[in-house]
Structure 1
Amino acid sequence: MARNPKKKRVKKKSKAHENVPILDGEQSMATDQQQQPVRVWRPGVDNLEDGEELQFDPTAYDCLHAFHLGWPCLSFDIARDALGVLRNDFPHTMFCVAGTQADTAQNNSVIVAKLSNVTGVRRGLKLANPMDADEEESDGESSSDEEDEGKEARPTSTKVPVLHARMIAHQGGVNRIRCMPQQPHIVATWADTGYVQVWDMLVHVRALSADQSSETLAGGTPSVVRQAPLHIFTGHKDEGFAVDWSPVTAGRLVTGDCKSGIHLWEPTTAGKWSVDRAPFKGHTASVEDLQWSPTEADVFASCSVDGTLRIWDARTRSQAAISVKAHDNDVNVISWNRVASCMVASGCDDGTFRIWDLRSFKEDSFIAHFNYHTHPITSIEWSPHEASTLGVTSADNQLTIWDLSLERDEEEEAEYQAKLKLQQAEAPNDLPPQLLFVHLGQKDIKEAHWHPQIQGLLLSTAGDGFNVLRPSNMENLPAAA
């Protein structure tokens, strides 16, 4: 069940707004923090004076890690695994796939990665030899037990988190990459060459799972292997970014391009698809994102530069079942709530995002409108565990987490503040009460995804690498029934 929509804020909202992570072991806290007034720095609003610097609050995160995969990976997806349906306790192991944006088309690859021993330690990661995992933490780096003063201690490993990867050659940069929910080793890539390809990464996942990844490592850098994709579709008229696997029908796929075309993929025999070359008609500009309904096999949503959000019946290509003018500018991204299937979120090029209830879906019928971000929304995704929680990334280099069930209670916030051992900054009054957390520190941030099996854990990718994080005020969230 989702949390009671009347629930008041009693968590560390103001703390969440003062953290700017300084990654790769460069974190520091001012020695006179308790003596100096503490205030929240608002990105895009406040400026830094000469000699001023932002201080990172280490207690704002249960874990925060950074790692790089060589070239920038502007799209990735988290692969479901067999390590447990719902996991909370550290350390964690996770798998993901990513696509590179290299300097030349020939240098691009699809990367299958395994990140193991993810603890509360905050450090940068590099592709490493498996033997590195046996090293203990270096001096000056503390576990989450030591840093989270006043919080209940929990067991954590003192070993270094390790990243292993397999790299598969890919012609052209990867605009977007997605795993099939039912068979996570089946991966679709949208290339800037205009081709959509489907790959079978099972051999690489098995090798990583069996700790055989060292076979592909040479001096800490994986060698690139070559393999043929299962299927290539060349029928799009231009490159694109929109792609989504059906969570209801295994192997069903929709892809959209920058020339307004949407094509439906139907699985046939093993490793093959039938793609109708007649596109769905309706959009008048680039299709930016696609999302299948979490409950209905023939229903999917699309958004476009034409400003519309459309709901389609896959059996009818001539027109959308519903079309709504969702924003006054390009609609970049959408997310269909997997817990409350009547809810859809849309993110716009003007930095705003809206929440829609499909039970009363029409123009200007959005049930919430947020105008916090100052640059285009680059990704938006509902939590897989909480119906009211979603993550948003923006070109203003922020990852924000929102809980739509929250409302401000000044008395409870004052009571909580009084109980703190250390001074905590007061959040500005003009911030939306639903804004739960702000994560900074990445440049040119593109996508963020919730881990489907680890509560409250997110991965985000940007031009300067990946972050793995779990905010401290996301812990102990109740699971959806």
Structure 2
Amino acid sequence: MTERGEGSNAALSKYEGHENWKSNIRVIYDWFTNHNLVWPSFSCRWGPQFEQGTNKNCQRLYLSEETDGFVPHTLMITNCDVVKPRVTNAEDMSQFNEEEQSPFVKRYKTLLHPGEVTRIRELPQKSTIVATHNNSPNVLLWDLEAQPNRDLVNGAPASRPDLILTGHGKNIEFALAMCPTGPSVLSGGRDNSVVLWSIQDHITSLGLTKGSPKLGPRGVFEGHDAIVEDVQFCPSSAQEFCSVGDDCGLILWDVRSGNAPVVKVEKAHDADIYCVDWNAQNENLILTGSADKTVRLFDRRYLTVGGVALPIHKFEGHKSPLLSIQWCPDRASVFASAGEDGILNIWDHYKVGNNNENARAKRRSAPSGLFFRHAGHRDRIVDFHWNPAEPWTLASLSHDVTSPYGGGTLQIWRMRDQFYRPEEELEAELIQHKENMKTFGLRTKSKKSKKKSKKSSK
């Protein structure tokens, strides 16, 4: 069993391909911006979009700051200008300084967080409500719009969470999820357990305690033999969820069946499993990412055969452990993975087994299913988030341990649509473009001939 980040052999600030990537920004991105962070950060999440413009939209973006302890740890709410597709000037986009902060990201509000923030997750029904982990046995809930802004001054009291969720026996770090169908929270921790809360239950707790009210769990679920590293709800049910951990196990749970595992895959990977995600558009599909450097795709109807894990496919394209994985909200077959090698890969599992795609991948020396590689970070990527309001737009975050520029890097980017649009659409657009150029050429020739005829008549 290894700790996250322990023994990482990623090339970090000198890793392979970074300089080549930097010289090709204008070719591969529709929009890109780089934001240097003074302090390291473990989590980034998109909040609500609150303003729409002609060329850009304004949206909240949540970040954390892990300080040295002399300065309070913070939960930071920023306003992010998200540029619309096919608007950015390619030359301007490629001229950025990795030591500077992006003009597109502006601090809006700061909360002084009790302890470092290891994970942020927003409530889908109201994304101004977030839950955080802080290396304690509790989960903290915050109403970010109602919380007062706190200046970073010595001696300032920590912000007070709106609700404290209790139930773990030991500290919790990364395993945290909010339910897509209702106000429920899920967490996993060092006590090897998964804990479930319903936020609706907190109404009965208000006023019963001094300070922030506390809420006990709806259920505690035990079945892992080691630290629970990640949890995820079934997209259509607050009763079903899954979890992964350092015991290499993937477990499916159903509250209606009690507190015991419904299905347990004993050896879903060959090493600790750090991340899991459940497909919102095809609920049979579950992704896992591991310290064994692979992503595995499972069908929950056929998780095992003869007690042995039965993944649909094993995706191999990372050189270090996987720390984060997420399905794309814009296409059911697409997902992204990132980790300690500083690379964020984007895959399409529909392309696996396609002979034409396999031939193209072989020519590119790329793994089957991989169609885009974001190589902008100089250290391990600890978190990323697909933007739910802006199609094919991502925020990715690296913890820059070895970087001379600062504690972390936030990058917000959108690949060119040539990478993900269907080939027939691109071909039709190219044909139309050629036709338009022909028409333009004929008009230009016609104008020139008219000018010549006028001159000759004179």
Q: Distance in 2 between matches of 1:169 and 1:260?
A: 29
Q: Distance in 2 between matches of 1:310 and 1:475?
A: 35
- The answer to whether residue 356 in structure 2 is matched with residue 409 in structure 1 is yes
- The answer to whether residue 69 in structure 2 is matched with residue 104 in structure 1 is yes
Q: Distance in 2 between matches of 1:388 and 1:110?
A: 33
For 1:329, the aligned partner's letter is A
Of 376, 383, 395, 1:441 maps to 376
| Residue number in structure 2 paired with 1:370 | 315
- The answer to whether residue 185 in structure 2 is matched with residue 253 in structure 1 is yes
| Residue number in structure 1 paired with 2:303 | 361
- The answer to whether residue 201 in structure 2 is matched with residue 268 in structure 1 is yes
When you count helix as a share of all residues, which structure comes out higher?
Answer: 2
Is the partner of 1:194 in helix, strand or coil?
Answer: coil
- The answer to whether residue 416 in structure 2 is matched with residue 472 in structure 1 is yes
Instruction: Assess if the C-alpha contact under 8 Å between 1:279 and 1:317 holds in 2.
Output: no
| Residue number in structure 2 paired with 1:300 | 241
Is the partner of 1:59 in helix, strand or coil?
Answer: helix
RMSD: 3.7
For 1:297, the aligned partner's letter is A
Alignment of 1:186-335 (within 5 A): 186-203=129-146, 226-240=158-172, 241-249=174-182, 251-266=183-198, 267-270=200-203, 274-276=215-217, 279-324=220-265, 325-335=267-277
Structure 2: where are the runs of 5+ without partners? Answer: 1-12, 95-101, 207-212, 400-407, 423-458
Structure 1 residues 227 and 61: CA distance shift in structure 2, 3 A:
same
Instruction: Assess if the C-alpha contact under 8 Å between 1:64 and 1:121 holds in 2.
Output: no
Between the two proteins, the alignment pairs up a number of residues equal to 379
| Residue number in structure 2 paired with 1:164 | 107
- The answer to whether residue 361 in structure 2 is matched with residue 393 in structure 1 is no
- The answer to whether residue 60 in structure 2 is matched with residue 113 in structure 1 is no
Structure 1 residues 427 and 438: CA distance shift in structure 2, 3 A:
farther
Q: Percent identity?
A: 25
Of 55, 71, 80, 2:48 maps to 80
| Residue number in structure 2 paired with 1:61 | 29
- The answer to whether residue 394 in structure 2 is matched with residue 458 in structure 1 is yes
Q: Distance in 1 between matches of 2:104 and 2:217?
A: 45
When you count strand as a share of all residues, which structure comes out higher?
Answer: 2
Shift of 1:345: 0.4
| Residue number in structure 1 paired with 2:426 | none
Q: Distance in 1 between matches of 2:67 and 2:82?
A: 28
Structure 1 residues 282 and 361: CA distance shift in structure 2, 3 A:
same
Alignment of 1:414-433 (within 5 A): 428-433=363-368
Q: Distance in 2 between matches of 1:75 and 1:248?
A: 23
Tell me the TM-score normalized by structure 2.
0.73
Structure 1 residues 145 and 477: CA distance shift in structure 2, 3 A:
farther
Q: Distance in 2 between matches of 1:364 and 1:433?
A: 21
Shift of 1:145: 8.7
Q: Distance in 1 between matches of 2:156 and 2:139?
A: 20
Q: Distance in 1 between matches of 2:157 and 2:109?
A: 8
Alignment of 1:83-94 (within 5 A): 90-94=55-59
Shift of 1:444: 2.1
Instruction: Assess if the C-alpha contact under 8 Å between 1:307 and 1:326 holds in 2.
Output: yes
Shift of 1:429: 4.5
Shift of 1:166: 1.1
* Relative contact order higher in (CA < 8 Å, ≥ 6 apart): 1
Q: Distance in 2 between matches of 1:403 and 1:58?
A: 23
Structure 1: where are the runs of 5+ without partners? Answer: 1-21, 23-40, 123-141, 149-158, 208-214, 414-425
Instruction: Assess if the C-alpha contact under 8 Å between 2:187 and 2:231 holds in 1.
Output: yes
Is the partner of 2:146 in helix, strand or coil?
Answer: helix
Instruction: Assess if the C-alpha contact under 8 Å between 2:337 and 2:345 holds in 1.
Output: yes
Q: Distance in 2 between matches of 1:357 and 1:395?
A: 27
Of 131, 140, 143, 2:89 maps to 143
Structure 1 residues 411 and 476: CA distance shift in structure 2, 3 A:
closer
Tell me the TM-score normalized by structure 1.
0.70
For 2:89, the aligned partner's letter is S
Q: Distance in 1 between matches of 2:74 and 2:50?
A: 25
Q: Distance in 2 between matches of 1:202 and 1:292?
A: 26
Q: Distance in 2 between matches of 1:105 and 1:330?
A: 34
Shift of 1:143: 1.1
For 1:398, the aligned partner's letter is I
Q: Distance in 2 between matches of 1:286 and 1:186?
A: 27
